[in-house]
Amino acid sequence: MSRSPEICAKPVTYATKSRRRRTVLKAGGTLLLSVFTPLPSHAAQILAVRVWPAEDYTRVTLENDTNLKTSHFIVKDPERLVVDIEGLELNPTLKQLVAKIQSNDPYIKQVRVGQNRPNVVRLVFDLKEEINPQVFTLAPIGDYKHRLIFDLYPINPADPIAALINKGEWTSERSPATDPVPPLAEAKPDAKPDVKPEIRPGTDAQPAKPEPKADPDRPSTLTRMITIALDPGHGGEDPGAVGRGGSREKDVVLAIAKRLKTKIEGQPNMRVMLTRDGDFFVPLHVRVQKARKVQADLFVSIHADAWVETTARGSSVFVLSEKGASSTAARWLANKENAADLIGGVNIKTHDRQLASVLLDLSTTAQISDSLKLGKAVLSEIGGINRLHKPAVEQAGFAVLKAPDIPSILIETAFISNPEEEAKLSDDAYQDQMAQAVLKGIQKYFARNPPLAKNRMT
């Protein structure tokens, strides 16, 4: 005979109920403890340390696996910067920072690293002079994890013109506003005039000298200096594009820019300012500011292109566009180049967003028109040493080309993602040919568009 479950079940006694109640209470207590009691925190790990010394500023980067909380303060006599990093234990990678500081660093004598207290590491930077520190974090982007950045700026940054004078790269000149502009062509002393002078009878007046014929292909001669701003792209934390052979865009474009600088300085009445002369990062708007501070007549930004397909090849020249990109590829490239600030690392709290918008608003049709003339002149010369990716100058919204009063171009010297062109970019001969082609393009531009005397900008 079958029995019902209720009959088969054992009778529930008071003792059984009490045991169950205690079991439930214990389980509930354990659950509450697991909710309100914090679990042991995992100490952050420093993955890499990098130091980028430069005359503009020195940057120290700590790359780590999580966002770090810091506090810092300055100690006087002698000058020191003290930084406390929470949630961190001292590890061998962080200790490498001591050896990364070079004796020729403009601002740091040495750094000391130690475990200040549990989960807090202290860095002490012994300084060579008074500095204005910026300490900030960067979210992961590209190949980088979280980054903690220390930017050490001088309290009194050098004026860019004064800095070039100190280097012997800036000669004195008369005020450009009063410099005379000679005619396009001057008659040689022994040249015979094409028209015989007319002498009126009965007068002692000397005949007027005939006006010399102007040569439209000869560049005008100016007594004022022409200033060219050369802008090697990327740098420091931002390597730019990287070829399959390991070549980095920031290295090859700096090499080309230095070659071009030497060639320009060999020309009469020309001088050069580099937005960066070493391996350090310069924000896009600062590059524009540097060019304007030295009253540059031209701004030439030098890059090396990259694409997902290794077959893409050729050189290109770009200028600013206010009405949208001339092609989808140009828009993609502009977006990639404009992301340099995110990769290189800009302190958002101090980044002057208003300045960027003002520069865009002030970009005039005249500036873009002059930039197109310069771009066409340079592109025609580059086409003599390398295949052109596009036969015409392209346009897009490049942030680095937004100087409102300076004709500005961006040159993509070749595709570093193409193995054949990557080899060219690393070749001394090709770098020299590229620099020579750009110089000839600049000379051709000034031959057709002689620079005007201008007052010093405020």
- Among residues 51, 89, 99, 50, which one has the least CA distance to residue 68? 89
Q: What is the pTM of this model?
A: 0.77
Phi, psi of 112 (to 5 degrees): -115, 135
pLDDT score of 378:
98
What does residue 305 show for φ and ψ, rounded to 5 degrees? -75, 165
Which tens digits make up the pLDDT trace of 154-209?
Answer: 998 877 777 777 767 776 553 333 333 333 333 333 333 343 444 444 444 444 44
Residue 41 has pLDDT above 70, yes or no: no
Residue 65: is its pLDDT beyond 50?
Answer: yes
Please check the confidence at residue 24 and state whether its pLDDT lies above 90: no
How many whole angstroms separate alpha carbon 289 and alpha carbon 352? 12
Q: Which residues is 61 bridged to in the sheet? A: 50, 149
**pLDDT tens digits for range 87-110:** 998 999 999 999 999 999 999 999
Q: Concatenated DSSP letters for 357-399?
A: HHHHHH--HHHHHHHHHHHHHHHHHHTTTS-BSSSS-EEE--G
Identify the residue whose tokens are 């004195």: 172
Distance CA(95)–CA(83), nearest Å, equals 15
pLDDT given at position 173? 52
Residue 351 has pLDDT above 60, yes or no: no
Sort 334 into a burial class: Cβ within 10 Å, 0-12 / 13-18 / 19+.
buried
Domains of the chain, CATH where assigned:
46-154 (2.60.40.3500), 160-172+218-448 (3.40.630.40)
How sure is the predictor about 26, in pLDDT bands with cuts at 50, 70 and 90? Answer: low
Apex 417 CA angle, 234 and 236, nearest 5: 20
* Residue 260 confidence (pLDDT): 98
- Residues 408-432 have pLDDT tens digits of 999 999 999 999 999 999 999 999 9
* 118 prior amide bond cis, ω within 30: no
Share of the chain above pLDDT 70, in %: 74
Res. 2 pLDDT band, cuts 50 70 90 = very low
pLDDT above 60 for 355 = no
> To the nearest whole number, what is the mean pLDDT of the chain?
81
Q: Which of 401, 63, 124 is nearest to 412 (CA)?
A: 401
- Residue 322: pLDDT band (50, 70, 90) is confident
Q: Note whether 180 and 223 are within 8 A (CB).
A: yes
Confidence band, pLDDT 50/70/90 cuts, at residue 385: very high
208-to-190, 196, 197, 213, 384 alpha-carbon distances in Å? 17, 10, 7, 15, 46
Quick one: pLDDT band at residue 450, thresholds 50, 70, 90? Answer: confident
Determine the pLDDT at residue 10: 44
